[in-house]
A and B are shown apart, each in its own frame.
Chain A
Amino acid sequence: MIGIEGFLIPFLNLELIMYIAAGVFVGIYVGAIPGLSVTMAVSILISFTFSWDILPALAVMIGVFVGGVYGGSRSAILLNIPGAPAAVATAFDGFPLAKRGEAGIAMGISTTESVIGTFFGIAVLVVASPIVSSLALKVSPRDYVLLAIMGLLLVGSLSKGSMLKAMITAALGIIAGLVGMDPITGQPRLNFGFDGLLGGISFIVVMIGIFGLSEALMQLRHNVQPVKQNVDKVRPGWDVILKNLPLTIRCSLIGVVIGALPGTGGDIAALMAYDHAKRSVKNPSRPFGEGAIEGVIAPESANNAAIGGAFIPMMTLGIPGDAVTAVLIGGMVVHGLRPGPMLMKQQPEFFWTIVACLLISNIFLYIFGMTGIKLFSKIVEIPKAIITPIIIVLSIIGSYSISNSVTDIYWMIAFGILGYFFKTYDYPVAPMVLGLILSPIIDTNYRRAMALSHNNLGEFITGMFTNTISVVIILFIVVSLLSQSKYWEKIRSGFENKFK
């Protein structure tokens, strides 16, 4: 392993360790506040650390990345308002746990699983970078469309009630994501002639409105009282960790693979992992959506494993795995380094230094994550008359901070009211967020795939069956659809009886 001496550099430098610790601490609290994104924090740090040496600058940014992805789960569990898109799925079972007075254990599990997921991601980064990066390069626009379709199948998993209502909100999410300027032709699309809509509707603003403001309004309507939290036991026992280890590993694998695909990240990984947990766990601790710990384990291990995955194409190919690694590449270029195959060849010790920074960040993630739980759990016990207006102010700051525009605040309020109606009439809101995430992936990749197929539908479809990756994804989609049909149980029990 050439350049492995770079691995020791952060461990032997107390200053670097302190920078990493500071980054993780700040990242957790940035991630916990809806509207303050890790991408934004890392972008600000690039200008902050412009005059620094490369290693301290990288150390802080990596710390913020690792802390921020985890931090989103805090507000997701305590307030049902995901601090980051990657924590959307954590709210499904994390918030019901908080409503039962078990916010402490929910956050303890989320911290532990995030740490395990990050370790898994780092391990894959070290061991399988060349294999995963060559696979990521082979994924074509058509495969992205198929992946997006696979993602849309999650709609069924994310909805407890009417499937039709879930599909309507998912479609609305996709449509909202298409408003603005068409990225391929530069033409206005779905903007009704208003120039103000040319910039599109920010996904974060919609998320804050749909989850933040609408949740505040629903709690007012139902006069929800604060729940006393049990924080005697926050650290999950070894029996819980070991019992759920197979699920953790599978979800971490999902996280790494999805994270390694350029343009996808922890948000999609977490939702897919949650869906996988729902399908594969036969006897969850509670029904999914009512406080199953497996519903926290799956997304939290996946979204943190996606961090390691996102570094794979970044380090080996110079292609960002997600928005944060895109900014990190910019940060490295500013400091005179260009990640990619040449850096891996000429300065391999850099790769190992980044691996070490990720490892140290993970250790601090556990320390800071576990120590703040008891204090954070108290947030849920604050009377609604006090906490609800504060949540609204934070939602407004979060919406404004995206592009320093008051228009985003109005959008947030509009989607908050829409979210209130959705929740009142049992339209699940999670599919809408899924639709927003998948919208650019579906649209851009479909059109690229059609262009590559010379706008010939026959060529587009037959091309799916001549490409190995496409065939594998199609198989997953078919199995996924079959597993929701009444015939699946018959087929499965038939197999089980045959092999008993």
Chain B
Amino acid sequence: MSAKDKEMKQAAQSVQNPGELYFLLILFSVFALFFYEASKQNGLLQGELGGPGVIPQLMIGASLIMIVLLFLQFRKNHYKESYINDVIKTLFSKDLVAILGTVVLYALLLESLKFILTSSLFLFFSMALLDRKKFGHKLMISLATVAMIVLIFRYIFQVVLP
């Protein structure tokens, strides 16, 4: 590893971002749940070396240890976690929350309203949310984009659209 790479690695290790400790806690919980699920399979915990649970138990166990080591690294660097309000403000800007909300709504409405209508609405509202100008222009782009997608995917590539 070059000296510059080592420097970058050390720098990355000493920088913490707001909410990182909460994220680590969530990761630990998820891996712990997976470990519980993996323990139901025959593997290392049951003394079997060739069972379906070997690799999952090994990987998840190793991950839990690595998360603990990362937490200890944070403590060594005297990391202090921010308040939850500051974390939310940093991670989720208004634009981001709005787009994420429209994406989730888009996915939920796809089956009932079908592809053409849902996609046209999603494209138009997302573009308008991100740049609140020239709405007519954005409507044209949305409709043209959906038309092109249907032509290319459904008729040329023969891909089934949602």
Q: Which residues of A contact B (CB under 8 A)?
A: 26, 30, 36, 41, 44, 48, 156, 160-165, 167-168, 171-172, 174-175, 178, 182, 184-185, 187, 189-192, 213, 216-217, 220-221, 287, 383-386, 388-390, 392-394, 396-397, 400-401, 404, 406, 409-410, 413, 417, 421, 424-426, 442-443, 446-447, 450-451, 455-457, 460, 484
Contact = CB atoms under 8 A, between A and B. Distances in A.
B19 to A, nearest CB: 8
B1 to A, nearest CB: 6
A388 B130 contact: yes
B162 A164 contact: no
Size category of the binding interface on chain B: 35 or more
Interface in B105-162: 106-107, 110-111, 119, 122-123, 126-127, 130-131, 138, 141, 145, 149, 153, 157-162
B4 interface: yes
Contacts of A163: 9
Nearest to A485: B1
B83 interface: no
Contacts of A386: 127, 131, 138, 141
19 contacts: A162-B73, A164-B73, A167-B66, A171-B59, A171-B62, A175-B59, A178-B55, A220-B93, A221-B91, A384-B130, A385-B127, A392-B99, A392-B126, A409-B110, A424-B17, A425-B23, A442-B55, A447-B50, A450-B49
A217 B59 contact: no
B75 to A, nearest CB: 14
A49 to B, nearest CB: 12
B79 to A, nearest CB: 12
Nearest to B17: A425
Contacts of B50: 447, 450-451, 455
A162 B63 contact: no
6 closest Cβ contacts across the A-B interface? A161-B12, A385-B131, A389-B126, A385-B130, A450-B50, A171-B63
Nearest to B123: A389
B144 to A, nearest CB: 11
Contacts of B48: 455
B52 A187 contact: yes
B70 A168 contact: yes
A386 B49 CA distance: 53
A396 B107 contact: yes
Highest count of chain B CB atoms <10 Å: which of A161, A389, A397, A409: A389
A273 B138 CA distance: 43
Contacts of A192: 33, 37
Interface in B8-58: 8-9, 12-13, 15, 17, 19-20, 23, 27, 33-34, 37-38, 41, 48-56
A187 B159 CA distance: 32
A484 B1 CA distance: 6
A425 B20 contact: yes
Contact of A389 (B27, B51, B63, B127): B127
Given A190-B37, A397-B159, A160 B20 contact: no
